[in-house]
Structure 1
Amino acid sequence: MSAAPAATQAPSGKESFFKDKDKPESVRNSNIVAAKAVADAVRTSLGPRGMDKMIQSGNGDVTITNDGATILNQMSVVHPTAKMLVELSKAQDIEAGDGTTTVVVIAGALLDAAQTLLQKGIHPTTISDSFQAAALEAEKILEEMSSPVDLSNDELLVKMATTSLNSK
């Protein structure tokens, strides 16, 4: 019968596996801050009153746009979590062709809410499970609110296309 290995003593006298107990919280906070920074960068460009952003590339080229996908693609993002939000925006563009800014702003808002809940001592798994339940409920509500599209109604199709094209 083998005994479990003894914990080594840290210089402070505490067992070594307790010395980094704040590290997961620190990493989680760093990830949230990085993602919120990306969301904040595009938030003011959202909607019909969205502001234009002037972006200067490394070689001096200047781009003026309020398109979230363009802003995110031209940002030099280093943090892995921030890169995930840029990839989220790209996936939204591929899947729907629109909503790139909205999806990043919503993700930033959810992370902001999660950070508040974490600071109140709520376990991350509880927060995640609650977000999943809320997403399922939102999907049900949206399904109830939706109405079928009559593809023979040219006027409606033009309005729908115009809405999407006005954001590009």
Structure 2
Amino acid sequence: MRLKLKKTVVLVGMMGAGKTAVGRALAARLEVPFLDSDAEIEKAANMSIAEIFARDGEPFFRRKEAQVIERLLDEERGILSTGGGAYLADGNRTVIGEKGVAVWLDADLELLWNRVKHKDTRPLLRTADPKATLTEIFEARVPVYSLAELSVKADPSYSIEEMAERVVDALLTRPDVLETLA
């Protein structure tokens, strides 16, 4: 089945939800570019997200993130993976809604913790009790992620490709976003 993407799909959700891995698989499946706002910010700054947070602070990072997201939505249709905090900003939600479609990769707290607990690349989890921090972030962000136009429930048993197919299924409910070609 050939598919045509009509709008950029913006993957939103918590750190560890699979936005990058699923995004790459989804882009390959739909034969469109994969875009990653965090990677674009790192490339432009020539430093890691953690280094930007440490040097310039979160407010500076969030301003740059908003600029990059808007530029990526303007430049090319594809699959856009965003950082976990990107969708929290009203301005980002507005521009994503106007120029693309938000898809929330909805993973539960235990699945997220199992995926992030052994990584030290998450600046927000560099605390005395990272699981408690993750829980606080999760509880604060889920109500905002639930505003996304589409959501796909993650399951620990799904492979990356299976999760990408679940996203395709969700997108097919929106002919303005994804259409089947004969």
Relative contact order higher in (CA < 8 Å, ≥ 6 apart) = 2
What TM-score comes out, normalization by structure 2 length? Answer: 0.25
- Under a length normalisation based on structure 1, what TM-score does the superposition of the two structures give? 0.26
Larger proportion of strand: 2
Which structure shows the bigger proportion of residues in helix conformation? 1
Which structure would you say has the larger Rg?
1
